[in-house]
Amino acid sequence: MATHNPSLFSRLPSGSGPRTDPEVVPKASRRQFSAAEKLRILQEADACTQPGQIGALLRREGLYSSQLATWRRLRARGQLQALTPQPRGPKVVADPQAEELASLRRENTRLQTHLTRAETIIDVQKKLSLLLGLPPTPELPS
């Protein structure tokens, strides 16, 4: 059986255990830079001539070098509008005719599948009636 060293416990403050802050910390949000901010940072980075100046700029702005490289690439392509934050998620289709066409195509595919199944069932029923020797029923005109 282990014995406790009283000198260790005498050094701990009363109310043993670390105190926790009951306040809920809000969830961190992703930083978004406007096109003007991105261009300002790019201009500052282009003005850096001494070794270590770009690193100091990145630390001061809280950026990674990959962000700077991506912004430079976009600027070189002339995609200034691409420097503004874009909404995430699927693109919204604004054309109501395209939506209706897609809906009608889905319905058409569903109905064709349903028709194929019904024709298969009718063919099986005809073959079964022939095997059992039942008189065939007259077909309805289409």
CA-CA distances (angstroms) from residue 8 to 12, 15, 118, 139?
Answer: 7, 15, 83, 98
Question: How high is the pLDDT of residue 142?
Answer: 62
The tens place of each residue's pLDDT in the chain, 142 residues long, gives 555 555 555 555 555 556 677 777 777 787 888 888 888 999 999 998 898 999 999 999 999 999 999 988 888 877 766 556 667 788 776 788 888 999 999 999 999 999 999 999 999 999 998 888 887 777 766 6
Question: How high is the pLDDT of residue 81?
Answer: 62
Exposed, middle or buried by CB within 10 Å (0-12, 13-18, 19+), for 71? buried
Question: How high is the pLDDT of residue 19?
Answer: 67
Question: How high is the pLDDT of residue 73?
Answer: 87
44 and 78, same domain (yes or no) = yes
79 and 107, same domain (yes or no) = no
**Do residues 83 and 39 make contact, with C-beta atoms less than 8 angstroms apart?**
yes
CA-CA distances (angstroms) from residue 71 to 10, 40, 48, 50, 83?
Answer: 59, 11, 16, 21, 7
75 and 101, same domain (yes or no) = no
103 and 68, same domain (yes or no) = no
Question: Which residue's structure tokens are 């195509």?
Answer: 105
Owning domain of residue 65: 32-85
User: Number of folded domains in the chain?
Assistant: 2
* C-alpha radius of gyration, the chain, whole number: 36
Asked if residue 102 belongs to a domain, the reply is: yes
Question: How high is the pLDDT of residue 103?
Answer: 93
